Amino acid sequence: MSQNAPPLDPPQRLLMGPGPSAVHPRVLEALAKGTVGHLDPYYLELMDGLQGLLRQLFRTNNELTFAVSGTGSAGMEATVVNLIEPGDSMVVCINGVFGSRMAEVAERAGAVVTRVERPWGEVFSVEDLESTLEQARPKVVGIVMAETSTGAYQPLEEISRRVHEAGGLLLVDAVTSLGGVPVEVDAWGIDAIYSGTQKCLSCPPGLAPVSFSPRALEVIRSRKTKVQSWYLDASLLASYWGSNRVYHHTGPINMSYALYEALRLIHEEGLEACFARHLLHHEALAAGLAALGIGYTAQPGHRLPMLNAVAVPKGVDDAAVRRGLLEDFGIEIGGGLGAFAGKVWRIGLMGYGARTNNVLLFLAALEHLLAKQGHPFSAGSGVAAASAHYT
Amino acid sequence: MSQNAPPLDPPQRLLMGPGPSAVHPRVLEALAKGTVGHLDPYYLELMDGLQGLLRQLFRTNNELTFAVSGTGSAGMEATVVNLIEPGDSMVVCINGVFGSRMAEVAERAGAVVTRVERPWGEVFSVEDLESTLEQARPKVVGIVMAETSTGAYQPLEEISRRVHEAGGLLLVDAVTSLGGVPVEVDAWGIDAIYSGTQKCLSCPPGLAPVSFSPRALEVIRSRKTKVQSWYLDASLLASYWGSNRVYHHTGPINMSYALYEALRLIHEEGLEACFARHLLHHEALAAGLAALGIGYTAQPGHRLPMLNAVAVPKGVDDAAVRRGLLEDFGIEIGGGLGAFAGKVWRIGLMGYGARTNNVLLFLAALEHLLAKQGHPFSAGSGVAAASAHYT
């Protein structure tokens, strides 16, 4: 018997961080169904079903819509490396960690990257991009819809129009947004988009839903060089996900079961109802936090419902509170990344996690820990304010 | 409610193809445990445990041993792109589909690739490589230990010695071999190796165990260019899997549970016992097949125990037999790939699938279908021959 390998026994956690988020019990059940082969007639049907459900969620007719066999970051890399050839101009909008990551990925793919930056927590307007679009004449403009490091909620419609006027393709990071707020791929003219399973889809991490517009597909088809990644080559993947079913790699069967069930849950609830639920619990949480004197970091009017990034109150020990939440209550929230380390908490209300019980329990636990640290607030006021919002 | 999305209900299959293979019930159970965060103290401990178990299985002390968040092909790409910089010389040994794939991946990474070829089903000797090593002076030599398309079992010790004498690094595909036959990373001097979870580890597809030697790590550390893939960059991944735990991407938590449990099962059984079990059932199957007049495609003395590639008997309809196995018996085996399409069956006895019941049931089902097709054999002889092997 091997050393250092005790039986698997993960603790029960209430996942209220930036993801992975709470997984729906039906999704865990799906995950444990018996594995079939990746060319089994049943699995091929399931792939069709998955594609159909993803198209409905992305609100698109894009044929090239599927799940990359990797996490959200693999989705980012897949969209970038398929669109970019060495020497291509790409503009990346950076107002947090994930914009920076996209720029890094694009440079490694050989893009000449122009970074447009905004302070963390703020969003981009068309005006912020004007001069760069003129000068860089980008083939691709990359932007993050829901910046998980800051909680900023980026509007896309106008920017998409302007990018297309300038002859570029719009590439969108929807890792945290998909399933929590409307993502209108066709109506907004998004050319390439990626997400992850572990945010608002109530599913464990492991797959990255992606979609490419016909315009993006045309660009991919007329490449002069091969895509640098064989694993992520969209043309090869299209032959496996498409009707010819050419074997490419062995898909992650059980994770596909989980994503399928997760998407069924969303469509059972209905997209509008699902988005409304995320908003409701966000507002309740925000009311509770406000009562405790805790404010948001993202600019007003541009706050994500599913990812509440808030300032750690002055005099309060960030790490001690997060440790207390985890150890005493089994609740995970996220700390700040990069420039926000030690200064920000990131509270996720994503998918199955966006529920009344979670909001109230979290606020009660937070009040308990803040009181221990001598933070001034009226006892019970956070829970009461959130509770009032539900009536 | 969405269209075309019936409830998830995968059929029960006996997976006896080239992978995915039969998943152990304890592994399916592990998969469905509650998700924790990717920076949860429990998950960090689990990562340490996983690394320890993988080192024991790879028989290595390599610090840089971990699971890539993708399938076996992502493991191939991860090892190649970390070792190769544009313009580097790489030799790839090709005697089946997966050698060709490695050459393709290497070229996309910018390698100047020299292909050394052997007929499908045969293996390489040191002599086959001599002149190429002299001429190409490769930085890396890539070779497939268990060619899943042909069932050929490649010895590595002598080739490794010669590659090192010539100043190269040895990169090994162990996707199908790991867990089924001895893989001695340190004793054989392997510099980089990758595998997949869905073959002899009794686990669903989705992760790719990899390991890099200190020599390979040194090469990675002294690169002049960045690794073209951010997602697969071993230096970044080393910082997450190592003691500093720098956030890189959100790991596939539940798949990690599954791999952990799968590795525990192997070490509970013991490596030697596990390899002996694979050999026993292979020999029983081979005896049964021989009685039915069915022979192997790989050269004698170099046949993989876990992947039995055999010639479809003359006059027998390949597709009809495989369809009959699947539809009438729920048994999946593999057809031939590439040059072997229509001519070869690939029968997997991998991990949890390598059991007496499976061998006997498969032979009984095969006899039933061969009789229907008028293939001449003595009824019951296949099952009897295999059965005799167990006594």
**CA–CA dist B210, B30 (Å, integer):** 22
Q: B175: Cβ–Cβ under 8 A, 6 or more apart, which residues? A: B19, B72, B75, B76, B98, B146, B148, B194, B195, B196, B199
Q: Work out the average pLDDT over B227-255.
A: 94
Q: What's chain B's average pLDDT?
A: 97
Q: Quick: pLDDT tens for A197-242.
A: 999 999 999 999 999 999 999 999 999 999 999 999 999 999 999 9
Percent of chain B with pLDDT over 70: 99
Min Cα–Cα distance to chain B from A321, Å: 15
Cβ distance B49 to A6 less than 8 Å, yes or no, reads yes
And the tokens for A292?
Answer: 């405790």
Q: Which residue has the tokens 């996209």?
A: A102
Reference A189, options A207, A214, A166, A209; nearest CA is A214
Cβ distance A2 to B247 less than 8 Å, yes or no, reads no
Q: Work out the average pLDDT over A264-280.
A: 98
Cβ distance B23 to A33 less than 8 Å, yes or no, reads no
Cβ distance A5 to B48 less than 8 Å, yes or no, reads no
Interface predicted TM-score (ipTM) of this complex, two decimals: 0.97
Residue A3 has pLDDT above 60, yes or no: no
Nearest beta carbon to residue B2 from set A5, A250, A267: A267
Give contacts of A3 with chain B, Cβ < 8 Å.
52
Q: Quick: pLDDT tens for A149-199.
A: 999 999 999 999 999 999 999 999 999 999 999 999 999 999 999 999 999
Give contacts of B29 with chain A, Cβ < 8 Å.
32
Could you give phi then psi for residue B305, rounded to 5 degrees?
Answer: -70, -35
DSSP, res A63: S
Cβ distance B231 to A56 less than 8 Å, yes or no, reads no
What sign for the dihedral angle of Cα B359, B362, B365, B368? negative
Give contacts of A10 with chain B, Cβ < 8 Å.
33-36, 42-43, 46, 257
Min Cα–Cα distance to chain B from A22, Å: 7
pTM above 0.95, yes or no: yes
Cβ distance B32 to A37 less than 8 Å, yes or no, reads no
Cβ distance B230 to A267 less than 8 Å, yes or no, reads no
Min Cα–Cα distance to chain B from A66, Å: 15
Give contacts of B22 with chain A, Cβ < 8 Å.
35
- Give the residues across from A14 on adjacent strands: A331
Residue B345 has pLDDT above 90, yes or no: yes
Cβ distance B264 to A2 less than 8 Å, yes or no, reads yes
Task: Mutate one of A254, A268, A271 to test the B interface: name it (highest B CB count within 10 A).
Answer: A254
